[in-house]
């Protein structure tokens, strides 16, 4: 027995140049010593940070020991967005959690609900981008509710999403950065070596932060619950009919863009929410910058209004009318247009009629009588319609040939006069 153990140890000490490396090799291949389970809706990095801290290790050092193949880069990127399948498998083995459960801690679990497909390297709509450089977030990429942290000290996955501006349970605003020093949150870094998540910049224990209550008259919590319901159930109800969550979120993104980027802000609830939050105006964004760049209270007002607009077709139509939004802007940059939305936008399309041959004949006669130049614009004005040359090319050709004949006649006439 003793011989066997010696043999094993010899193996470890001979294959590595020193004891430290032997330990590294062993840690890299073995399960975690203490194995936690992810909480419901816990975020991957939150789970990894908690696991590291319970081993009395800094999360970065811990990751370096257990994932040497990541070459010190484990937390050097947005891991909740970009964690690889291999790393997930390995982590599942190390913490003895089914890999499917672990996959649910990543943002890619929203695939098929918020987007068709998530892209690990570019921006994804609704996802706050922390812009991690050198393992620190350079921008506000995650928010938190101090009251939720008091109940259970872990970071919720939905706090990474731009519409999560308040906590519907505690009716308070989320903090988008450290309320003490203003630094963007980096939950894998901390100042104090304690269990509780704390700010690496000033040491503030996040669960001790003050909660800012939401105004009782605000609809922000109620409408956010509407978004969460769609996210959790996989569908939303509009005008009494169910609609795939994915379709609904595509339209939600489009409406927030109209409000924020295109300045279509004529909406009573938007105004009310802005007044409640003491927000005088929402600054126009830099060129095509996403809603994420607006401050949190502006976010809250924009999403609250957007959800209200999407509650019924009537609401949407009123919003379009009151802001004079053109179909081009309604559909701009939309790869896929959900049917429900398409139908409403169609109602705002300019009427495309295709007049019959006889009508064009008489219109030409009229133009000739009144010595109007025979051009398409005049035909459109006369018939009070938009003559679609593409869909009825036969009529269009007819019109053009008659016009050519007329012009030729005019030429003859001018020659005679000359
Ligand atoms: Zn809360
Ligand atoms: Zn701080």
Position 311 scores a pLDDT of: 94
* Nearest ligand to residue 143 Cα: 1
Ion ligand 1: residues, CB < 5 A: 145, 147-148, 167, 169-170
Per residue in 357-370, pLDDT tens? 777 778 778 888 88
Q: How far is CA 142 from CA 161, 200, 404, in A?
A: 8, 15, 66
* Nearest ligand to residue 184 Cα: 2
Cα 20–chain centre separation: 44
Q: For residue 133, list its beta bridge partners.
A: 136
Q: Which two tokens stand for residue 100?
A: 């499917």
Q: Which two tokens stand for residue 255?
A: 């409406």
User: In the chain, what is the greatest distance between 2 CA atoms, to the nearest angstrom?
Assistant: 124
Per residue in 249-267, pLDDT tens? 999 999 999 999 888 999 9
Please give the distance, rounded to the nearest whole angstrom, from the Cα atom of residue 360 to the centre of ligand 2.
74
Q: Enumerate long-range contacts of 127-132, CB under 8 Å, 24 or more apart.
A: 127/81, 127/160, 127/161, 127/162, 128/160, 128/161, 128/162, 128/292, 129/78, 129/292, 130/78, 130/184, 130/186, 132/75, 132/76, 132/77, 132/78, 132/186
Q: Determine the Cα–Cα distance for residues 110 and 184; give it in Å rounded to an integer.
A: 24
Look at residue 142 and give its three-state secondary structure.
Answer: coil
Please give the distance, rounded to the nearest whole angstrom, from the Cα atom of residue 174 to the centre of ligand 1.
8
- Report the candidate in 246, 249, 279 with the shortest Cα–Cα distance to residue 265: 279
* Nearest ligand to residue 197 Cα: 2
Q: Which two tokens stand for residue 252?
A: 């939600």
- Report the candidate in 91, 144, 141, 83 with the shortest Cα–Cα distance to residue 108: 83
pTM (2 decimals)? 0.79
* Nearest ligand to residue 177 Cα: 2
Please give the distance, rounded to the nearest whole angstrom, from the Cα atom of residue 49 to the centre of ligand 1.
20
Please give the distance, rounded to the nearest whole angstrom, from the Cα atom of residue 173 to the centre of ligand 1.
9
Look at residue 403 and give its three-state secondary structure.
Answer: helix
Q: Is 193 left (phi over 0), alpha (psi -120 to 50) or beta?
A: beta
Please give the distance, rounded to the nearest whole angstrom, from the Cα atom of residue 127 to the centre of ligand 2.
23
The pair phi, psi for residue 41, each rounded to 5°, is 60, 25
* Nearest ligand to residue 179 Cα: 2
Please give the distance, rounded to the nearest whole angstrom, from the Cα atom of residue 150 to the centre of ligand 1.
9
Position 288 scores a pLDDT of: 66
Position 305 scores a pLDDT of: 97
Please give the distance, rounded to the nearest whole angstrom, from the Cα atom of residue 170 to the centre of ligand 1.
5
* Nearest ligand to residue 201 Cα: 2
Position 1 scores a pLDDT of: 42
Position 395 scores a pLDDT of: 67
Please give the distance, rounded to the nearest whole angstrom, from the Cα atom of residue 293 to the centre of ligand 1.
23
Position 2 scores a pLDDT of: 47
Mean pLDDT by 10 residues, the chain (418 residues): 50 60 84 94 96 94 92 90 94 96 96 90 88 91 96 97 96 96 94 93 96 95 96 91 93 94 92 92 74 83 96 95 92 89 87 66 80 76 66 69 68 56
Strand segments (E) across 143-287:
166-167, 172-173, 212-213, 235-238, 241-244
Please give the distance, rounded to the nearest whole angstrom, from the Cα atom of residue 278 to the centre of ligand 2.
25
Please give the distance, rounded to the nearest whole angstrom, from the Cα atom of residue 166 to the centre of ligand 1.
8
Please give the distance, rounded to the nearest whole angstrom, from the Cα atom of residue 169 to the centre of ligand 1.
5
């Amino acid at each position: 027995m003793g011989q066997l153990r010696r043999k094993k140890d010899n193996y470890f000490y001979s294959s590595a140049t020193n004891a430290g490396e032997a330990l590294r090799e062993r840690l890299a291949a073995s399960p975690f010593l203490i194995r936690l389970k992810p909480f419901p809706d816990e975020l991957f990095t939150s789970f990894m940070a908690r696991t590291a801290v319970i081993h009395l290790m800094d999360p970065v050092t811990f990751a370096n020991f257990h994932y040497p193949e990541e070459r010190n880069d484990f937390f050097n990127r947005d891991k909740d967005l970009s964690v690889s399948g291999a790393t997930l498998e390995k982590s599942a083995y190390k913490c003895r959690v089914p890999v499917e459960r672990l996959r649910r801690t990543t943002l890619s679990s929203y695939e098929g609900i918020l987007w068709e497909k998530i892209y690990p390297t570019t921006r994804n709509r609704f996802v706050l981008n922390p812009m991690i450089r050198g393992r620190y977030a350079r921008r506000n990429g995650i928010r938190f509710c101090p009251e939720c942290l008091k109940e259970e000290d872990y970071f919720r996955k939905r706090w990474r999403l731009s519409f999560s501006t308040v906590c519907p349970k505690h009716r308070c605003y989320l903090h988008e950065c450290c309320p003490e020093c203003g630094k963007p949150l980096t939950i894998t870094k901390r100042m104090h070596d304690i269990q509780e998540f704390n700010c690496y910049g000033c040491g503030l224990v996040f669960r001790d932060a003050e909660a800012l209550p939401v105004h009782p008259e605000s609809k922000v919590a109620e409408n956010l619950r509407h978004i969460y319901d769609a996210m959790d159930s996989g569908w939303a109800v509009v005008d009494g009919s169910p609609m795939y969550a994915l379709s609904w979120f595509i339209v939600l993104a489009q409406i927030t863009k109209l409000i924020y980027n295109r300045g279509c802000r004529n909406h009573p609830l938007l105004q009310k929410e802005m007044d409640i939050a003491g927000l005088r105006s929402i600054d126009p964004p830099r060129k095509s910058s996403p809603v994420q760049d607006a401050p949190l209270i502006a976010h809250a007002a924009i999403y609250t209004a957007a959800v209200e607009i999407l509650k019924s077709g009537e609401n949407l139509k009123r919003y379009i009318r009151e802001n004079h939004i053109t179909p081009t802007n309604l559909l701009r940059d939309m790869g896929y247009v959900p049917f429900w939305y398409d139908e409403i936008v169609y109602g705002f399309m300019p009427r495309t009629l295709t007049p019959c041959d006889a009508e064009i004949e008489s219109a030409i006669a009229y133009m000739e009588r009144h010595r109007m130049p025979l051009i398409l614009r005049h035909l459109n004005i006369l018939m009070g319609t938009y003559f679609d040359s593409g869909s009825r090319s036969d009529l269009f050709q007819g019109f053009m040939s008659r016009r050519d004949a007329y012009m030729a006649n005019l030429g003859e006439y001018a020659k005679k006069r000359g």
